[in-house]
Structures are given as C-alpha cells and as structure tokens.
Amino acid sequence: MSGVEAHSAETVEYFVNCPTGVVEHYFESPALHWSDELYRIHGYERGEIVPTLDLGISHFEPGDQNAARSLWESLLSVGGPRSAYLSLRDVNGKVRKVLISGDYILTRGEHGNEPIGVWALVVDLTHSIHMDTHRLANEAVAASAVKRSVIEQAKGILMARGGLTASEAFDWISRRSQVSNRKVIALSQDIIDRTHQLNQRNQPASRALALLELLPTP
C-alpha cells in the first residue's frame, strides 16, 4: 500500500463514525436523490418529505444559506471539487456542523468524460468540532473523494452488468442499504469485491444475472 493509499484508508477510518449523507442530481431531471443518512442528518426518514433545493437550503443557518446556495450553483455551472464548512439545523432544532464537498457526476462520452449531473457528500462533524477545523475539513474532503470513488465504481458495475441507468443504480444501492441496515459505502464495496471474485473465476456477470448475486452470501 502506497503512502497516499494508506493516508486515504486512515482518513476514511477516522470518519467512519461521522454520519455521511449523499445527494445526487442528474441534469435530465429536476429531482434530487438523498441517501438514507442524509435524510437522518436533516431529521427525517425516507418518505416523509420530497427533497428539493429550497428545502435543503432552508435547513442551513440564515448566515450560511447564501454560501450553501452559491456552492450548489457553482457545482452546477463549473463542477468541482468544491467544499464548504457550514451550520445546518435539523427539523428538531439541533444544529449540526457539516462539511459539504462535491463535484460533477461524469460519464464516458464521444469526446471523453462528460458531466451528466452533480453529487455532494455531507459529513456531520458535530462531535469533532473541538479539533482543528481546517485540517479536519481537508481530511474530510479526502475521505469524501475516496468514498465517492467506491460508490461510483459500484454504480458503474450495476449500470454495465445490470442494465440500469445511473439513477436506478443509485436507488438500488440505497434500497439495499435501507433493507440490510448497512451503509451505502459498505454495500458499494461489496459489489466491487463480488464482481472481482466473479471475474477471477471467469464468471463475469451478465444482464441476465440477478443483481443480488453481485452481493456476497451472508
């Protein structure tokens, strides 16, 4: 393991107990897709509300709302990586200190990688605010990038081998996360590991293969 890989692994491990939510938006639709953890950070459960930009912005403290909207608009117009350290108030009135980092969602097109949407990770650092926030923010961005890479790999596998769209792949992982009570990042890693196992046995998954076969047997 290289020094960079070791640092990334240590960073992800450090933030494993910090609630981390994911929001995705695809240009083809006005919808926002929240992970279960992001609902919980805001004080909701999936199905209680329909996530919108205005709803998300309203949860930030008044002094941070312009910064939150500016971050999102910058991601939409020019991508990232971009990040911000803001204060978010959940539906129960609890103030959370969150680190938000995001970038384009890319797909391979005729002219190379092309943006098809934007993503952002919201890391709840409330219990870590006693630490140096600048260093913490830098490490959180690094951790977000590592986690995002794993999730994108898993989505790519489901899209290529399960015949799903990017949005359907994200929804499938999110539903499995809810049913199994496991984090999206853990399920995504399972899909990657299981696919490597199939490939090593010369049993590449096909579109006819049940998607659940991409997860290891409990």
pLDDT of 84 higher than 70? yes
d(CA 142, CA 148): 10
pLDDT averaged over the chain? Answer: 78
- Model pLDDT, residue 212: 59
- Model pLDDT, residue 209: 45
| Percentage of the residues of the chain whose pLDDT score is greater than 90 | 28
Residue-wise pLDDT for 189-206, tens only, equals 888 888 777 666 655 544
Q: Strands across the sheet with 20-26, in order? A: 32-34, 20-26, 112-124, 95-109, 82-89
- The answer for residues whose C-beta is within 8 angstroms of residue 91's C-beta and 6 or more apart is 42, 43, 44, 59
Identify the band that residue 49 occupies on the pLDDT scale cut at 50, 70 and 90. very high
Global model pTM greater than 0.85: no
- Model pLDDT, residue 206: 46
Identify the band that residue 108 occupies on the pLDDT scale cut at 50, 70 and 90. low
Residue-wise pLDDT for 110-162, tens only, equals 666 788 899 888 988 887 654 555 566 666 666 666 677 788 878 878 877 77
- Model pLDDT, residue 6: 38
CATH assignment, 3-214: 3.30.450.20
d(CA 194, CA 205): 10
d(CA 21, CA 183): 10
Q: Where are the chain's structural domains?
A: 3-214
- Model pLDDT, residue 10: 39
